[in-house]
Structures are given as structure tokens and as C-alpha cells.
Amino acid sequence: VQLQASGGGLVQAGGSLRLSCAASGHTFSSYRIGWFRQAPGKEREFVAAISWSVGSTYYADSMKGRFTISKDDAKNVVYLQMNSLKPEDTAVYYCAAKVGYGNSVASYEYWGLGTLVTVSS
């Protein structure tokens, strides 16, 4: 399983970004794809996840209403649309994959390299 995150960059507070996670190397019908982030000096935290087969979505409480996760089955890509960004959203964002339930960092088996999101005030 290979995961490639992209789409990060510098944005002003209140702005939007869309991150992409290109997945390859496997059939992902039984997988869950998650987005995580890690700010400087902080632990990696769950942001959002989507089950590939059913399309069920899961969000960290602090992201609900601002972030939306979606997928494109034809392209094997999972997106994270981030709106109303705040300086505290500044972090390296990672996508990860797993089989099964749950969204803890430790439960995800496959990780891509992160993409940096910087939100200026």
C-alpha cells in the first residue's frame, strides 16, 4: 500500500485548502483511509476518516463543520476539504490506511509522507 498526500501550502486565516491522498498498491474496498495531523511539539491527532466500501465518514469533534472528507473511487483518491482555516490548524497532515474499525493513530498500518499546511493570522 502506497499513500501520497499533497495539496498543502500557505493560506491566510479564514481561507481554504483541499488535500489529496492518492492510494495505490492494493484494492481498497475493505480499507479505511484517515487524515491525521501533527503540529510542532504536539502529538499526532486524528482529523477525519472514510470507509472505502460504504463511504461512511468520521470526524474529530473540533473539525466537524469545517473539514469534509470525500473520495473518488475511479481515481483512488481521498480528499480533505478544509474551510475556515485557523492558525491552530497549522500542521503536517498525513493520510493513512487500515483494515477494520477505529481511528486511533496506533491502529493505522500504512502511512504516507505528510504535506505541510501553514495558516497565517
pLDDT of residue 100: 87
Please state, in angstroms and rounded to a whole number, the distance separating the CA atoms of residues 37 and 118.
12
The pLDDT assigned to 76 comes to 93
Which pLDDT value is given to residue 64? 87
- Mind listing the pLDDT tens digit for each residue in 60-108? 998 889 999 999 999 999 999 999 999 999 999 999 999 988 899 999 9
Q: How far is CA 109 from CA 3, 56, 82, 84, 114, in A?
A: 11, 19, 24, 30, 15
Q: What is the pLDDT of residues 17-33, one digit of tens each?
A: 999 999 998 888 889 99
